[in-house]
Amino acid sequence: MKVTPIILKDAFIIENKVFEDSRGFFIESFSAKEIENIIGKFDFVQDNHSMSIKGVLRGLHYQIENVQGKLVRCISGSVFDVIVDLRKSSPTFGKWFGKTLSNNNIQIWVPPGFAHGFYTLSDTAEVQYKVTDYYSPKYDRTLLWCDDQLNISWPKDDNQLIISDKDLRGKSFNECDKYD
């Protein structure tokens, strides 16, 4: 695995080796030992898989308790993936990072204490992610994807923007719950 730190503290891009030949390819997409060497000891308890059509923007989601770390990859199509550091004690608090994911050997480690979302660039896209705690509707929160203070540069087409009612009602950065 090739590991690249990004501008946000404790977050990484992880590139898995791809073994290709005339038959196709093989990727070891997860190895607990390898991942632990990169991010430390976390127990992944659930795998999630979403499919979205072009123009869908999901997020920015997080849980204020039962906090989740996420290991995210796009296995089909392409998405612009965004993470935001909501940890008040972090030197990168209030900063965001975005990357196009379109190759299933690239993953982003989203540490606990971050909000996460993505915008679908291709006709369809499938995103898979492992999480370190179970989904808890009671603690589910949404940070407004278009917050003026964060000023995220989404590569969106306003004529094709599809957002859930829940995500449209997200809280601004100033109003949202944060982590101490």
Active site residues: 61, 129
Render 63-121 in DSSP notation, one character per residue. ESSS---EEEEEEES-EEEEEEE-BTTSTTTT-EEEEEE-STTEEEEE-TTEEEEEEE-
| Tokens coding 118 | 């993505």
Query: Please, which residues have CB within 8 angstroms of residue 102's CB and are 6 or more apart in sequence?
Result: 74, 77, 78, 79, 121, 122
Q: How many CB atoms lie within 10 A of CB 5?
A: 11
| Tokens coding 76 | 């089909």
Render 42-65 in DSSP notation, one character per residue. ----EEEEEEEETTBEEEEEEESS
Residue given tokens 């038959």 in the structure block? 23
| Tokens coding 62 | 């997080």
